[in-house]
Amino acid sequence: MGQIASVAARYIAAAPDRCYPPEVIDAALKCLTDLVGVAVGGRREPVVQLTLAEVNRWNSGGTAPIFLGPRTASPIAAIVNATMAHVHDFDDTHIPTDSHFSAPIWPALLALADEVHANEMQLLGAFVTGFEVGAKLGGRRLGHAMLARGFQATGVMGRLGAAAAAAALLQLNAEKSAHALSLAATQAGGLSGAAGSMSKAYQSARTAQDGLVAARMAADGFIAAPDILEEDGGLARAFVQDGFAQIMAPDFDAGWEVLGNSFKPYACLHGIHPAVDAARQLAPQIGGREIAKIEAFVAPGVARVGGIKEPGTVLECKFSVRFCVALGLAGSMVHGRDFTEATAREPGTRIMMRKVKIVPVEGRKMLDASVKVTFADGSLVEADVPLSFGHPGNPMGWSDLEGKFVRSVEPELGPKTQSLFNTLKTFQAPGSLQQAWQLVAPSE
Please tell me the predicted confidence (pLDDT) of residue 444: 60
Give yes or no for residue 147 having a pLDDT over 90: no
Per residue in 238-271, pLDDT tens? 999 888 888 888 999 999 999 999 999 999 999 9
Q: What is the pTM of this model?
A: 0.95
Of the chain, the percentage scoring pLDDT greater than 90 comes to 88
pLDDT band at 320 (very low <50, low <70, confident <90, very high): very high
Q: Max alpha carbon distance in the chain (Å)?
A: 73
Which tops the pLDDT comparison, 204 or 210?
Answer: 210
Per residue in 184-202, pLDDT tens? 999 999 998 898 899 999 9
Give yes or no for residue 75 having a pLDDT over 80: yes
Give yes or no for residue 141 having a pLDDT over 90: no
Determine the average pLDDT of the residues in 81-95: 96
The domains located in the chain, with CATH, are 3-260 (1.10.4100.10), 270-385 (3.30.1330.120)
Nearest-angstrom CA–CA distance, 344 and 324:
10
Please tell me the predicted confidence (pLDDT) of residue 107: 98
Determine the average pLDDT of the residues in 86-107: 95
Q: Which residues, listed in sequence order, are joined to residue 31 by a DSSP beta bridge?
A: none
Mean pLDDT of the chain: 95
Beta strand 356-360 pairing with 369-375? unpaired
Please tell me the predicted confidence (pLDDT) of residue 18: 96
Of the chain, the percentage scoring pLDDT greater than 70 comes to 100
Q: Is 330 helix (H, G, I), strand (E, B) or coil?
A: coil
Please tell me the predicted confidence (pLDDT) of residue 248: 81
CA dihedral for 32, 38, 42, 43, sign (positive or negative)? positive
Distinct helix (H) and strand (E) counts, the chain: 20, 6
Q: How many C-beta atoms lie closer than 10 Å to residue 195's C-beta? A: 18
Yes or no: say if 103 and 133 are a contact pair by the CB < 8 Å rule: no
Nearest-angstrom CA–CA distance, 372 and 381:
6
CA dist list (Å): 97 to 166, 243, 375: 20, 17, 40
Yes or no: say if 156 and 184 are a contact pair by the CB < 8 Å rule: no
Q: Which residues, listed in sequence order, are joined to residue 291 by a DSSP beta bridge?
A: 375
Task: Report DSSP letters for 379-426, one per residue.
Answer: -EEEEEESS-TTSTTS---HHHHHHHHHHHHHHHHGGGHHHHHHHHHT
- Tell me which of 57-61, 97-101, 224-228, 273-277 is least confident: 57-61
Please tell me the predicted confidence (pLDDT) of residue 204: 87
